[in-house]
Structures are given as C-alpha cells and as structure tokens.
Amino acid sequence: MNVDFAPVRLVPAYRKVADAILERILDRTLPHGQRLPPEAELAEKFGVNRGTLREALRDLQSQGLLTRQRGSKRMVVTQPQASQLADGLQRAFAIQGITALEVWEALRVLEPPLAEAAALARTDIDVAALQEVVARYSADHTEAGHAVQHVGTFFRTVAAASRNRVLALAQEPLVRLLEPTLALVIDRVPQARKRIEDAERQVAEAIIAGDTARAQAWMGKHIRDLRRGYELAGITLETTVEATPAAG
C-alpha cells in the first residue's frame, strides 16, 4: 500500500524560542512593560545557547514586541506602534498587487462608518484637531504633495475621533496606499483641491455637531468623488498601488 507523507517541517531553534515568548506576550502572562529575565537565565530556561536566544529576541524586537531600554541589557515587553503594523500590512498589500480599485472599495466601506462613529464619540480635543486640519488644508493645498499630506491627516483625525482602534489600524495602510494616486488626481484635476476642501469641511462640521447621518453621508460623497477624480485624471483603477513611508 502506497501512503503519502508530507515532509517534516524543521523549525529553527530561535523560531521556537521566539514563538514561546510570543505566546506568553499574547496571553498577557508577559504584560506590556514587563522586563524579561537576563539573557543567561532565559537561555538556560530554554536549553539553548546565547546566540540562539539573541536571534529570537531580535526577531521579536523587529516586530515591535520587545524593546531594550536605554542603559539596560534587559528586554522589555512593549506594544507595536500603529505605524509598524501599517508598514507590514501595506507592504503585504503592495506585494500582492492590490489595485487602486480595491483600495477605493475598502475606503468606501470603511470611511463613512468611521465618520459616523466620530460624530458620536468626538471630544473637545477631536473638535480642535478637526478644525485645525481643515484650516491647514484650506491655507496650504496649492502644492499636490502638501494637499495629499493634509488629506491623509484628515482621514487619520476622523479615525482617532471614532475611538475605535481596530478601525483606525485598518485605515492606516489604506490611506498610505491611496496617497500616490491621490497626488496624481490633485495634480491633474484642477477642481479636485476645492472639492476635497468642501467635502472635508462638511464632514468636519457634521462630526463636530454630532450629526451622524450627515457625517456618514458627506464622507460617502467624499470617497465617491475620489473615484470620479481617478477618471478625470486618466488613472485606471486597475493600477497597482505602491507602498509608501510612514507619515512624518
């Protein structure tokens, strides 16, 4: 009788160590801010040499899960920054050949509910932030690069006002993937700057007033306008998107 067997996967020792530490971080046995034992002690516990342990620690450090505090040799458990998570996601999307259409469709689904949530959860700090970003765009949108930065800041400010970290994290890589094609729209379509300014002012005013229906409706219009901008700029929606650096 012929029986097929799959090859046995050999996992490097450092990966096993990293996975074991990761499991304790995820189940909060090792909470944020917890210092790990000294390297010698950890290596002895895992039954590996110091080189293997250090490779495991470097791997977790690169993921933003561990950090070494200044003046200390001990690693500390930390939380990955949103920018680190977005970096990984947008690179994965870009590698897979995600198109401008797919990014636009995701924003069409995500942004109106974010605006609605922001209208319910906004604080005085959020109100001030929205007023500031709208004013900045109005005063400084003549250069396409500046305008794109302000649009990205606007989307992020709305997400922050929603008080939903999951939605904000989902938004960040999409905003970054949007930026290169949005720059082309703003550069090629003269009326785009004014339409963006009007839409963002309407969204901000609705959020500040706590008008959920109006906030959702205007954000939906804002995103639909973007697709029209692609058409006017001669950008095919099948264009693949490019990963961009984190906002400064």
Q: What is the pLDDT of residues 86-128, one digit of tens each?
A: 777 878 887 888 899 999 999 999 999 999 999 999 999 999 9
Q: Does 148 have pLDDT greater than 80?
A: yes
Instruction: Tell me the whole-structure pTM to 2 decimals.
Output: 0.77
Q: Range with the lowest mean pLDDT among 75-89, 123-137, 169-183, 211-225?
A: 75-89
pLDDT at 246: 59
Element (H, E) at 142: none
If one compares 111 and 140, the residue with the highest pLDDT of the two is 111
In Å, the largest CA–CA distance within the chain is 78
* DSSP one-letter code for 67: E
Rounded to an integer, the average pLDDT of 67-72 is: 84
d(CA 218, CA 226): 13
Backbone angles phi, psi at 79, to 5 degrees: -100, 135
Question: Rounded mean pLDDT of the chain?
Answer: 89
| Residue 141 confidence class, pLDDT cut points 50, 70, 90 | low
| Residue 248 confidence class, pLDDT cut points 50, 70, 90 | very low
